[in-house]
Structure 1
Amino acid sequence: MSRPPDLPDAVAVPRKRWRIQWIWLVPVVAVLIGIWLAVQAVLSQGPTITIQFKTGEGLEAGKTKIKFKDVDIGVVKKVALSRDYKNVVATAELTRDATDMLVDDTRFWVERPRIAGGNVSGISTLLSGAFIGMDIGHAKQERRAYVGLETPPVFASDVPGREFVLHAENLASLDVGSPVYFRRLRVGQVTSFELDKNGGGVTLHIFVNAPYDQYVKSDSRFWEAGGIDVSLGTEGVKINTQSLVSILIGGLAFETPSSSLTEPEAQVRTSFTLFPTRTEALKVQDRIVDTYVLDFKQSVRGLTVGAPVDFRGIVIGEVSGIYTRFDPVTKEISIPVEIKFYPERFTARHEEPSEGRLVTDPKAVADYLVSRGFRAQLRTGSLLTGQLYISFDFFQHAPQAKIDWSRTPPELPTEPSGLQSLQDSVNRIVARIDKLPLEQIGKNTQQTFANASALLQSLNTQVVPQAKSALSAAQTTLNTANSALQPDSALQQDTGDAIRELARTAASFRALSDYLQQHPEALLRGKPGDAK
């Protein structure tokens, strides 16, 4: 078969090499830039944390910011309920620069408008909206899951100062943010409070700012400064208060006794007792406290726990408990009163007391005092309120008594009060009256009255008629005398003539006497006219 003449011959052409087109450089560069941006985004992305709150008020995903010193350092990405539906968990993303801030004691809270303890905070959130505040801790351990605070902290962790702990019977008018005063200057605030586990009191935490924290000594005294402290003394009425703010919102103050100013500064979180008033806070703190019991047979109405125990006007203790006791032997009910006795006050000296007791054998001293008539007695402290107190003194006629040191606490002898002694005297008189034979005395009295009645009857029948006759004769005599004494009676006229005659006779005798004094010879010779 022959090839057609019109077909050309095939010629082998060598294969060309592959070349990169410039058009492909654009997507390649775009991919590289995207990868670089993604790596940069991953490298610059900050940590993600979770914060647990009791409520989601003010939290909004994608809008709620996290701020530190008013600088945005993160944003909330997600808000959801916890698995037990009791709390709200906010997931937030922070900037990379905030990584070192996330330590174990870092604190978070939702900043909202609040008014507490006289302090107003979060007013700016009324316009800008709520945000999560942050305070950096000092721990070294990192953390990513937190429990947010329900209220903002009173002070930031970087504020200089020290925190102290106070123990009180009740919270009174204090609150978080209540001021702390020193010499009427506001030097700190209450940071938190909580009820003791046993329910017997309240524990408060306060923060004293620097440099005022250096004045808190180990023997400093704290007291409630809210309200007005009014005291009545020999110098008149005294009114003490820290400021008008403390009257309205409460507060507390502290002071250090002059004898303790040289003591070292108190350490952080040192515990102190919070007293209700300044007077109680600055009382001498007794280092030695003895417990005794006083057994009273009388009513203790008006005696309260805390009532003073004094010796001739000097307080040497206080009442710590009042109970009742039934004696199965005597079948009597008594009132045992427990007292706290401060021996350092009873044996105080002008010099500073040394450590320990001031006497070597306190039991021997107590036995000696009791043998000399040292007794406890209930006395009235106020006639208006009827309050009682316990007074120790020496009673010379008190019966002999001894202290039984084997009992815990030992019992000191007592003496009935003046009113009780009067009542006992009245009871003894009544008992003696009860012993009198009142029935026999009544019968004798009745017989005496019968005899007296018979005597009066006899007098009425026998003596009275004779007395009437005698009175009639006496009346007749008086009438006769009255008639004779009338001015126009004959007796009166005769009596007048006799008196005039006696007057003339007396005048004659007086004239004769005068003549004889002048002429005594007339007694022998007679008158010259008689010789003729």
Structure 2
Amino acid sequence: MSKPVNPTLIGSFFLAAIGLVIVSILMFSRGNFFEKHHQFVLFFHAENNLNGLNVGAPVKLEGVKIGEVKEVALLFDEKTREVVKPVVIELDYSNVISDDDLDDDFVAKEEGEQNESIKSLIKKGLKAQLKTQSLLTGLLYIEFQFTPQDEIVLSGRNFRDLRELPTTTNATEDLKRQAQEVVDKIGKLPLEQIVEDLAVNMQEIKEILTSQSLKENRQGVNQSIKEMEKLLINLNKNFTPLMFNLNGTVKDTRVVVQEFSRDIKPVLSSLEKTLNKATEILSESQYAVRSFEELSSPEAPLWQALEALKDAAESTKNLTDTLERHPESIIYGKGEE
């Protein structure tokens, strides 16, 4: 006869099995059971190529992994006739948010607080950008960076009621776009005409370089250079005697100047005396002229004496004429005519 089963023992085994299952789940999930996961959607610009962005690609913030890509979709917007490329990402707040609430921007325990935290990060310039994991594989990942100098652009589309985070173009796409613009501008140039003109110009240059006139001119230039060299040699030979003669001439000129300076001093002294004498004579002449001017004045006594003498002379002449005509008048006196 078998012994009855102990219910307590069965219950203990059952509880132990449940505990092992829970521990296994926690171990295999590496603690993900307690992690806080939040999904967002990104709408990349039309020029961004998503080739190489796969599900499971890392999502990083300033180089630190904070999540991964969960879905890469492709939609067609019938209203705008545009191709939309939504990317769903899942962020693990435990890699960013500290439990001690040291960073108020990242701490978000409640839904309302999470929304305010995201708004604050967006205002600070948080934007998603495609980056290359490896140039060999071409795989992409998503990098969040703070670029407050760039404009915040949101598409405003609704995709599965997920909150949208802003994106920006990556540097590679910018370089590709700029390179494409350069290629387009080059393509608009008349390259065939430019090549033809260049070929014609090269042919003309070749004809000029191989022409007979250029060879003759080259020979003439060579001859001129040789004659110039001869002239310089002769000039170099005659330059030393010329400088010697020039130095002698300068010395002779200096001696003549010194002798002239020595001989001219007495002459200048005599000339100075003569000028002084002439100055004295001129002063005396000026005095004589002033005296003569005073004598020649009509009011001067000399002029009055001369007038009286003139009157006396006229009276004497009249008397003489009368005596010549009437000598007897000296005895009888002047009669009536």
TM-score after normalising by structure 2? 0.51
Partner of 2:122: 370
- The letter for the 2-side match of 1:313 is G
Q: Secondary structure at the match of 1:281?
A: coil
Structure 1 residue 415 corresponds to structure 2 residue 168: yes
Identify which of 196, 213, 229 aligns with 1:462.
Answer: 213
Matched letter for residue 463 of structure 1: L
Deviation at 1:281, TM superposition (A): 0.7
Any conservation in 2 of the 1:344–1:358 contact (CA below 8 Å)?
Answer: no
Q: Deviations over 1:372-401 (max 9, x none)?
A: 532111223456765432211123453441
Partner of 2:180: 427
* Structure 1 portions without partners, runs of 5+: 1-96, 102-135, 140-155, 167-205, 208-219, 223-271, 480-532
Q: How many residues align?
A: 232
Cα distance change on mapping 1:406 and 1:367 into 2, 3 Å: farther
Alignment of 1:220-239 (within 5 A): 222=24
The residue type equivalent to 1:465 in the other structure is E
Q: 1 or 2 for the larger relative contact order (CA 8 Å, sep ≥6)?
A: 2
- Distance change (3 Å), C-alpha of 1:383 and 1:347: same
1:281 paired residue number: 30
| Structure-1 separation of matches of 2:108 and 2:120 | 21
- Listed as ranges, the matches of 1:151-300 within 5 Å are 157=10, 162-164=15-17, 206=20, 222=24, 272=25, 275=28, 281-282=30-31, 285-287=34-36, 289-296=37-44, 297=46, 298-300=48-50
More helix by share: 2
Give the whole-Å Cα distance in 2 for the aligned partners of 1:356 and 1:368. Answer: 12
Q: Is the 8 A contact 1:291 1:340 kept in 2?
A: yes
Structure 2 unpaired stretches of 5+: 231-337
Paired residue secondary structure (2:15): strand
Alignment of 1:391 onto 2:169: no
Cα distance in 1 between the residues matched to 2:102 and 2:137: 38
Q: Does 1:340 align with 2:90?
A: yes
State how far apart, in whole Å, the 1-side matches of 2:189 and 2:124 are: 38
Offset at residue 442 of structure 1 (A)? 3.7
Q: In the alignment, which of 389, 396, 402 is matched to residue 154 of structure 2?
A: 402
After superposition, the C-alpha distances for 1:241-281 in whole angstroms (9 at most, x for unaligned) are xxxxxxxxxxxxxxxxxxxxxxxxxxxxxxx4562xxxx61
Contact 2:26–2:32 (CA under 8 A) maintained in structure 1: no
How big is the alpha-carbon RMSD for the aligned residues of Structure 1 and Structure 2? 4.7
1:367·1:403 contact (CA, 8 Å) conserved in 2? Answer: no
State the 1:416 CA deviation: 2.5
Q: Which structure: greater strand fraction?
A: 1
Q: CA 1:469–1:300 in structure 2 vs 1: closer, same or farther (change >3 Å)?
A: closer
Contact 1:293 1:336 in 2 (8 A): yes
Q: Measured at CA, do residues 293 and 165 of structure 1 come closer, stay the same or move farther in structure 2, by a change above 3 Å?
A: farther
Distance in 1 of aligned mates of 2:157 and 2:223: 92
For 1:394 and 1:221, how far apart are their aligned partners in 2? 40
- 2: CA distance between counterparts of 1:364 and 1:405? 20
Alignment-mate amino acid for residue 467 of structure 1: R
For residues 188-216 of structure 1, the C-alpha deviation after alignment (integer angstroms, 9 at most, x for no partner) is xxxxxxxxxxxxxxxxxx58xxxxxxxxx
Q: Distance in 1 between matches of 2:177 and 2:209?
A: 45
- Name the residue aligned to 2:66: 316
Rounded Cα–Cα distance in structure 1 between residues aligned with 2:135 and 2:158 = 39
Tell me the residue number matched to 1:325: 75
Q: Give the equivalent residue in structure 2 for 1:82.
A: none
**CA deviation digits over 1:302-347, x for unaligned, max 9?**
4443333221133333222222223345555454221113456544
